[in-house]
Amino acid sequence: MSKKEKYLTISRLKKIPWLVHGFGLASFTPEDLKEDGKLASFQTVEMKQEHSSRVYYLEGPPADRLAGDGLVTGAEGLLLIIKTADCLPVFLIDIKNRVVAAVHCGWRSTYLEILLATVNLMKEKFSSQAENLLAALGPCIEKDCYEVGLEIFENFSAAGFKTDFIFWPSRNQGRFYLDLRKANWWFLVERLGLKPENIFQLNQCTFCQPGLHSFRRNKEKSLRLINFIGIQPQLMVNRAVNE
């Protein structure tokens, strides 16, 4: 957790000198992004998230606000933002080529294989390889709190997901519990070839914990958790190393 305890971090990622990242708590606001010493110099990039499989490659700040659910960049000084309130935020880091991605993985984006689209874009632009990728999975709604209907089960089944690994039957007829986190973990390992030891998770349920925003709990569309990842400018990296 950060010094101000407004966002969560993953210890393995904190060891990468050129990387900044965080999974925001409910108390973390856009104003905090400007006031945090590590983040103030970054230019934020925020999408109109649409629960799609659309992913963009950025060489610099986009001229207009993009509509989609994934961002990839190797550019320094861009802070990629994903906002969530039950969906799963996923970060991908190519440690060899200094590339980062931020992905919004709701149930639709997940079965539409947005992680595949993201990794394919990283391969296209940077020749990224699975053995060099780290993944970080932030807080999301956990399976015991996430009941869904038959249509969602059928969508995942048709997409080739291992349904007996990610779904559990509910007591309510035609309903299931979906483990969104496990679905994306399975996809990263089985479909994309990431090593399990290179996938890091914050196993916190947005629905259960009052310190996190949950749409299912609060029914409030304006409340979102701010999740961010970016590549520090080399000058800042050198300064940190020297200190």
Question: Is 126 inside a domain boundary?
Answer: yes
Question: Is 159 inside a domain boundary?
Answer: no
Question: Is 87 inside a domain boundary?
Answer: yes
Question: Is 23 inside a domain boundary?
Answer: yes
Confidence of residue 5 (pLDDT cuts 50, 70, 90): confident
What the block records as the tokens of 44 is: 């934020």
Confidence of residue 2 (pLDDT cuts 50, 70, 90): very low
Q: Which long-range contacts (CB under 8 A, 24 or more apart) does 130-133 make?
A: 130/192, 130/193, 130/194, 130/195, 131/193, 131/195, 132/94, 132/95, 132/96, 132/97, 133/92, 133/93, 133/94, 133/95, 133/192, 133/194, 133/198
Question: Is 227 inside a domain boundary?
Answer: yes
Residues spanned by the domain of 88: 7-141+180-242
Question: Is 208 inside a domain boundary?
Answer: yes
- For the chain, the domain total comes to 1
Query: For residues 33 and 154, what is the distance between their CA atoms, to the nearest angstrom?
Result: 40
Question: Is 94 inside a domain boundary?
Answer: yes
The DSSP symbol for 198 reads: G
Task: Read off the CATH number of the domain in which 184 is found.
Answer: 3.60.140.10
Confidence of residue 1 (pLDDT cuts 50, 70, 90): very low
Confidence of residue 125 (pLDDT cuts 50, 70, 90): very high
Residue-wise pLDDT for 76-85, tens only, equals 999 999 999 9
Question: Is 75 inside a domain boundary?
Answer: yes
